[in-house]
Amino acid sequence: MSIQEAQVSRADFDQVMVPNYAPAGFVPVRGAGSRLWDQSGRELIDLSGGIAVNSLGHCHPALVDALTQQANKLWHVSNVFTNEPALRLARKLTEATFADRVFFSNSGAEANEAALKLVRKVASDRFGAQKYEIISALNSFHGRTVFTVNVGGQPKYSEGFGPRPEGISHVPFNDLAAMEAAISERTCAVILEPIQGESGVLPADQAYLEGVRALCDKYDALLVFDEVQSGMGRSGKLFAHELYGVIPDVMSIAKSLGGGFPISAMLTTEEYAKHLAVGTHGTTFGGNPLACAVGEAVLDIINTPQVLDGVTAQGEYLRERLRAIGEPYNLFELVRGKGLLVGAVMSAAYKGQAGALMAAAEREGLLVLVAGPDVIRFAPSLVIDKTDLDEGLARFARAVDAFVSQAQV
């Protein structure tokens, strides 16, 4: 039997993979829209969207088409050359946003690395070496490279990886007074998620983002929005900061941009982009033609009033239904989020048990996510069918029943 034909199963994971993940007990093999099938042929409804990545569900025909067409043309040329898909996608992203310039990379962490290097370089060029401090929020998440875990506000992700890079401080999210106390002439940038994703689907307050914008202007610090999770239509606007009317200087995007194909981008204005001159930054795969061809197809579909309005309407419906499902058991303290990034916060009696509810959902054939120990997170396809959403919610209601009857309250 050749290697390709050899049977593999979940058990192989524990023998051949670095044990940094704890994947579910089944192995998905096929997906279509908001449904997935595992090796045994079991069908699951997917309201997790690959952690807010599968923005158009699984194997959307337009994305399959964009990918296969490009696969027959050109895969990679390096950044010694540019390429048509990258130029087209960059053109469309700049037309759709505050930004004039785009840097492509392959993951959220890498887009944030580019953003953080850019803000340091801008400050160094304009004001000198002493202006390098970066302020971020407690509980924020910005990726897993050594620098981005330290910028992120969750110490559990940065402990044990050696000395911390200097010049990073953390303040409580949505606390403008704390930001005002922390920011100074030495601050080169503030980085925030407009909706904190990993730590519980917590949207920023309107006055907070406006206040932080004003403080950044006062201290010549750049405002970076990490829209890796909140961006590309997930909030019901193309980017979540549009809900607030607060414009950043730099933005990182990733997850939904490729709809499942790895691609990310750092976007900024002409004025700041010029500081990353030839030779100052780069990445081998950034701007890959396959990734950019898929990204362009994703953007073309998402950036339409029908899809964005649909996200807003489906999000409201999802939150309403979740409240109704939890109500008889007093299961959720509140259900929050924007568009189709939704967090159901477990009430006091069920604190710490989001993981157990997620496991109960999986037993009912439903994929959901957690965001920390107390929040069940939903990040379904932005074009999910009403029937799939309703079937997912029916399965969730059954899971809640089973969970509540077994929960240790």
Q: Which residues bind ligand PLP (CB under 6 A)?
A: 107-109, 112, 141-143, 193, 197-198, 226, 228-229, 254-255
One-letter identity of residue 200: G
Q: Helices 84-96 & 289-302, crossing angle to 10 degrees?
A: 30
Considering the complex, what minimum distance in angstroms separates the CB of residue 300 from ligand PLP? Answer: 22
Is there a contact between 206 and 212 (Cβ–Cβ < 8 Å)?
no
Is there a contact between 27 and 365 (Cβ–Cβ < 8 Å)?
no
Considering the complex, what minimum distance in angstroms separates the CB of residue 205 from ligand PLP? Answer: 18
Is there a contact between 384 and 34 (Cβ–Cβ < 8 Å)?
yes
Write out the H or E segment, with its range, that includes residue 37.
strand 35-38
* Between 49 and 108, CB nearer to ligand PLP: 108
* Between 107 and 187, CB nearer to ligand PLP: 107
* Between 198 and 362, CB nearer to ligand PLP: 198
User: Catalytic residue positions?
Assistant: 141, 226, 255
* Between 57 and 108, CB nearer to ligand PLP: 108
Considering the complex, what minimum distance in angstroms separates the CB of residue 387 from ligand PLP? Answer: 29
- Angle at the Cα of 237 (from 63 to 286), degrees rounded to 5? 45
Is there a contact between 236 and 307 (Cβ–Cβ < 8 Å)?
no
How far apart, in whole angstroms, are the C-alpha atoms of residue 153 and residue 136? 7
Do the bridges between strand 168-171 and strand 133-137 make them parallel or antiparallel, or are there none, so unpaired?
parallel
Considering the complex, what minimum distance in angstroms separates the CB of residue 170 from ligand PLP? Answer: 15
How far apart, in whole angstroms, are the C-alpha atoms of residue 143 and residue 156? 13
How far apart, in whole angstroms, are the C-alpha atoms of residue 374 and residue 300? 36
CB-closest chain residue to ligand PLP: 108
Considering the complex, what minimum distance in angstroms separates the CB of residue 45 from ligand PLP? Answer: 22
* Nearest CA-CA partner of 148 in 174, 195, 114: 114
